[in-house]
Amino acid sequence: MTTTGLEGIYATQSAISSIIDGTLTYRGIDIDELADNARFEEVVFLLWNGDLPKAISLFQLKKDLVNYGTLPNEIHSLLKSFPCNARPMDMLRTVVSALPLYELEVKELSPKENRKKAIKIQAQISTIVAAIQRVREGKEILSPKPEYSFAQNFLYMLSGEEPSTVAVEAFNKALILHADHELNASTFSSRVTVATLADIYAGITSAIGALSGPLHGGANEAVMSMLEEIGTEDNIEPYIYQALSEKKKIMGFGHRVYKLGDPRAKHLKELSKKLTQLTGQRQFYEMSIKIEQVIAREKGLLPNVDFYSATVYQSLGIKKELFTPIFAISRTSGWIAHILEQYENNRLIRPRAEYVGPQKRGYVPSEKR
C-alpha cells in the first residue's frame, strides 16, 4: 500500500502520545489535564519515563536542567560569529549540531549516557534560543537561575528581567501544549536518524531541520505576519477573500489528524484573550476571532495549535522570528522521548518506494542521443 505523505500509514508502535477520536494524550493523560495543572518539567519527566515524577525526582530534574543550562564559551563565540541577518532557525540548527564537539561521551549510546545527554540538550536548547535573540540585539548571553522554573528561566534569559507570574504561567502552558504530537514530521525525522545508531545530537539536529519548514514549524510566524499585513479588522474579509481566490494557504487552520478541531487550540485561544487584554494588544485577538469566523464560513476549517500561539508569543514580547525556535524548545522533550524509545527497541527504518518510472530502457551512446 502506498499513500502520498504516508497519510494513514502506521510506521511504528509508540507508548508516548496518542491522538484517538480527536483527543491528545501524553502517556495516557489528557492534554487538557496537563495544560491546566502541570509544570513543563513534570511533562518532560512524564514523556521520558512514562509516569509523573515524585517530588524527589522532580527536584532533581529541575536542578539538572539549571546545572546543564550554561553554554560552553565556544558556543558563545560561535553564536557571535554568525552573520547579523542569519535566520534564528538556521542558527539553532548549527549550534545544536556543534554541541557534541564539547561532549566527551558523544558516541556512547548506553541508556545512562543517553539520559545524561537528553537532560543536557533539553537544558541547553532553551539557553541557545534565548542567546540567539540576545546576540542579535547585541546583548550579553545569560545563564539560567537555580531558583527559577524552566519557563521562568527562558523568559528571564530572553529579556534579562524577572518575568511576571502571568507570563510564566502562559509560557509554561504553551510549552506543555507543544511538547509532543505523535509521529509528526520532525519526530519521525529524529527516529529515522537515530535508528542508524547515530547519536542523540544528530537526531535532534534532524528534527530541527524538519521543523524549520513552513508546513511544520513556521505556521505561527506566518500567522503573525498575516495579522501585521492585514492591519485592521476592516481589511480582514478583503484580504482573506483575495488570498482564497489566489489559492493561497491561510496558515494556522486545519490539521491532517484532527477533523473536529485541534484540542490544543482552545487553550491558546484563551491565553491570547487574556494576554492581549493585559498588554493592550487586544486588536490582534479581535482580528484573530474574525479571521477564524471567515475561514470557518468559507472553508469549514478550524484553528490549529499555531493560530493563537502567534498572538500569545507576541503578547509575551517575543519576536516572530523566534516563534519556531521556541517551538523547538518545547518539542525537544517529545523528540527525546521518541529517540529514547527508538534506542530501546531499535531497528533500522528503511521503507520501500513503489517505482512508477519508465522500464526496460537501454543505454544510448552520447552520439546517438
Q: Indicate which residues carry an active-site annotation.
A: 255, 306
Q: Which residues, other chains included, contact 231 with Cβ-Cβ below 8 Å and sequence gap of 6+?
A: none
From 184, 317, 328, select the one nearest 256 (Cα to Cα): 184
Q: What torsion do the CA atoms of 166, 171, 176, 178 make, to the nearest 10 degrees?
A: 140
DSSP-derived 3-state class of residue 17: strand
d(CA 115, CA 200): 10
d(CA 334, CA 233): 37
- Contact criterion met (CB below 8 Å) for 96 and 108: no
From 114, 333, 307, select the one nearest 225 (Cα to Cα): 307
DSSP-derived 3-state class of residue 138: coil
d(CA 109, CA 21): 37
Q: Which residues of 114-138 are buried (b: 16+ CB within 10 A; e: fewer)?
A: bbbbbbbbbbbbbbbbbbbbbbbee
